[in-house]
Amino acid sequence: MSERSLVTLEDVAQAAGVSPATVSRVLNNTAAVRADMRERVLAAATSLAYTPNSHAQALARATSQVVGVICHDIGDPYFAGIIRGVMRMASEHDLHVTLGSTFGDQEREIAYVGMMRGQRARAILLIGSGFEDAAWQEAMGRELDRYVATGGRVTAVSRHRGLHVDAVLPQNRTGAAELARAMVELGHREFAVLSGPATLTTAADRLAGFRDGLARAGIELRPDQVVEGAFNRDGGYAAATELIRRGLRATCLFAATDLMAVGVLAALRNHGLSVPDDVSLTGFDDIPLVQDLTPPLTTVALPLEEVGRRAMAMALRRGTTTRNRVERVQGRVVLRASTAPPPPSGRP
């Protein structure tokens, strides 16, 4: 069988004895067609197993079914969870999702937008926080503006400073503040934070929120009790190790993401520290499985799938004004066994 044996609209038309225009109308239900022709077209299309060439359709219609989804790392349960929601929504709307995973490379993120512009994606979803980097914001902003100028829609999940796009915003700051308050209510007074890269807005927001919450109780976070690490398990492990090296002067630790918290837990254990007996530990996100850790992790639960669904829904719904739309998604503090009142000694 030859490689170019694709069945075309033309083939269906010939088989059915009608014009290509008629086939198109029947298949797209775009105009009334006499019943018998309709039948013949449908029969021919079925028997030839005809599938329209979506590229030809995109070209002729000047609009495609493609939606671009860009995330930092598809292997991270946080992104996988959100994209799960995106996929649910996409399949309900018969959209073609093109996936981009940047692996933290800012350049690649911009390149993906260009690629999706080339695909004439009807919408682009930016999943995951932006970078606090002026040059990147400049370049990314230009690239997105070009895309938007040609009718594209962009929805971001998490805050992207410097980019004027619609957004679904997990309330990182208030979530972290509430978590801090809950920990203060448990009796803690000395805290340390295992934070993410300062260049990520999500990391910055969570740290700021945690500070807010403590401040309201008159508690300050000492600079040497904040350690940065990569937004993953090993980043948490490394940051916790560094914190211990500096001298752990806290009864409660806040890891900026659950994934980091898992690494922190391992590091604490390897240093002979028990959670929560020696020190309490909290995370953020509530990814699957952290409820199955020992002890189960106290965290701020974000409805990840819901976030994905809403981002996709927002991108599909054209705005009525030119103002950027924003939907806030609250996190919910979930207290589990990884946190407890501080030990009587006050310090491990």
Helix (H, G, I), strand (E, B) or coil at 71: strand
Inter-CA distances, 333 with 93, 182, 209, 268, 328, Å: 33, 8, 13, 23, 16
Q: Which of 25, 117, 122, 188 binds DNA (CB under 7 A)?
A: 25
Q: State the DSSP string of 105-172.
A: -HHHHHHHHHHHHHTT-SEEEEES--B--HHHHHHHHHHHHHHHHTT-EEEEES--TT---EEEEE-H
Question: Should residue 9 be labelled a site residue for DNA when binding is judged by CB under 7 A?
Answer: yes
Q: Which stretch binds its own copies (CB under 8 A): 146-154, 198-206, 245-253, 329-337?
A: 146-154
Q: Which stretch binds its own copies (CB under 8 A): 182-190, 248-256, 278-286, 290-298?
A: 290-298
Tally helices (H) and strands (E) across the chain: 12, 12
Question: Should residue 31 be labelled a site residue for DNA when binding is judged by CB under 7 A?
Answer: yes
Instruction: Give the distance from CA 248 to its chain's centroid.
Output: 33
**What does 18 interact with, of DNA, its own copies, none (CB < 5 to 8 A by kind)?**
DNA
**What does 31 interact with, of its own copies, DNA, none (CB < 5 to 8 A by kind)?**
DNA
CA distance 132 to 20: 53
Q: Which of 27, 33, 42, 115 binds its own copies (CB under 8 A)?
A: 115
**What does 74 interact with, of DNA, its own copies, none (CB < 5 to 8 A by kind)?**
its own copies
**The residue type at 32:** A
* Residue with the two structure tokens 């197993």: 49
Q: Give first-to-last CA distance, the chain, whole Å.
A: 74
DSSP character at residue 30? -
Question: Should residue 59 be labelled a site residue for its own copies when binding is judged by CB under 8 A?
Answer: yes
**What does 117 interact with, of DNA, its own copies, none (CB < 5 to 8 A by kind)?**
its own copies
Question: Should residue 55 be labelled a site residue for its own copies when binding is judged by CB under 8 A?
Answer: yes
Question: Should residue 20 be labelled a site residue for DNA when binding is judged by CB under 7 A?
Answer: yes
Question: Should residue 99 be labelled a site residue for its own copies when binding is judged by CB under 8 A?
Answer: yes
SS3 letters for 34-51?
A: CHHHHHHHHHHHHHCCCC
Burial annotation 197-207 (CB, 10 A radius, 16+ → b, else e): bebbbbbbbbb
CA distance 333 to 286: 9
User: What string marks each residue from 37 to 56 as x (binds DNA by CB under 7 A) or -?
Assistant: xx-----------x-xx--x
**What does 75 interact with, of its own copies, DNA, none (CB < 5 to 8 A by kind)?**
its own copies
Provide the minimum distance between the beta carbon of 171 and its own copies in the complex, in angstroms, as a whole number. Answer: 22
CA distance 282 to 147: 40
Interface residue list for its own copies (CB under 8 A): 1, 3-6, 49, 51-56, 58-59, 62, 64, 69, 73-77, 80-81, 83-84, 87-88, 91, 96-101, 103, 108, 114-115, 117-120, 142, 146, 149-151, 233, 262, 265-266, 288-289, 292-294, 305
Interface residue list for DNA (CB under 7 A): 4, 6-10, 18-22, 24-25, 27-28, 30-34, 37-38, 50, 52-53, 56-57, 59-62
